[in-house]
């Protein structure tokens, strides 16, 4: 699934696999914050929910693939697209962000021009190596585009399982409203045995950092990884990530709209 482009990177770590094995300990799931603390508060919320238009219909018509991820997940299976067509881009953004802010996931509303840039680059460079900060250093993840879905799995998984390595995070991008509203909606599914929301958020932010950047040096790392793998230096990814300081100001789950 991830092809031969990572072979050089794998060979760099085979000499010390214990370092990466130690980074694969399971992470506990992020617990949801309780919504309210009284029956009266619960009653008020129920009334508010009934009064709101039903914009979302998540779970309808979706199929689960191997690993628990949704197969062929469409925007219609999440959002009542016809109902929001009368809304402005800003109103849709508020609806999307408000809905997913209460869920343990990552989400974003990406400007159309930014997604255009990301998409064009993804066609030329469909894979990249991302660095996820850990207490003991960094854990590396391979990201591979498949259509508008972006699949992540840890490098140690690729090293041990090759092309059969299962996805641990999938970012779903929906360009359905791109032309009419100038926005692309994004949400995700993750394997909570290995990743928590903050981990997924960090990886999603890095996608915009490397694929939507105006800095030729930053995107150059993606080009090098895909087309000149013998020249790729994984420490350059760490340096770029540390320089960016991504995610420090964001609430959990919300992906930065800055590159």
Render pLDDT for 195-221 as a digit per residue (tens, 0 to 9): 999 999 999 999 999 999 999 999 999
Report d(CA 6, CA 226) in Å as an integer.
9
pLDDT value at position 162? 81
Q: Are 107 and 100 in contact (CB under 8 A)?
A: yes
pLDDT value at position 50? 44
Tokens (6 digits) for 105: 């996931």
pLDDT value at position 184? 97
pLDDT < 70 regions, the chain? 1-68, 71-72, 246-259
What's the pLDDT tens digit per position in 221-233? Answer: 999 999 999 999 9
pLDDT value at position 73? 82
């Amino acid at each position: 699934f991830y092809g031969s482009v990572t072979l050089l990177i794998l060979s760099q770590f085979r000499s010390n696999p214990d370092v990466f094995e130690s980074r694969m300990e399971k992470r506990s799931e992020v617990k949801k914050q309780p919504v309210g603390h009284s029956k009266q508060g619960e009653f008020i919320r129920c009334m508010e929910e009934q009064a709101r238009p039903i914009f979302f219909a998540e779970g309808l018509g979706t199929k689960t693939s191997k690993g628990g991820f949704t197969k062929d997940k469409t925007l219609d299976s999440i959002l009542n697209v016809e109902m929001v067509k009368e809304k402005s881009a800003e109103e849709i953004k508020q609806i999307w962000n408000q809905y997913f802010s209460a869920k343990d996931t990552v989400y974003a509303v990406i400007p159309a021009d930014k997604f255009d840039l990301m998409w064009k680059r993804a066609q030329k460079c469909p894979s990249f190596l991302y660095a996820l900060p850990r207490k003991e250093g960094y854990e590396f993840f391979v990201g591979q585009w498949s259509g508008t879905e972006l699949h992540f799995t840890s490098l140690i998984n690729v090293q041990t399982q090759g092309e059969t390595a299962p996805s641990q995070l999938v970012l779903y991008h929906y360009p359905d409203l791109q032309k009419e509203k100038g926005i692309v909606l994004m949400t995700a599914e993750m394997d909570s045995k290995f990743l928590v929301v903050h981990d997924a958020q960090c990886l999603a932010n890095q996608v915009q950092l490397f694929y939507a950047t105006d800095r030729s040096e930053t995107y150059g790392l993606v080009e090098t990884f895909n087309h000149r793998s013998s020249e790729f230096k994984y420490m350059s990814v760490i340096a770029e990530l540390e320089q960016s300081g991504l995610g420090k100001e964001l609430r959990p789950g919300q992906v930065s709209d800055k590159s």
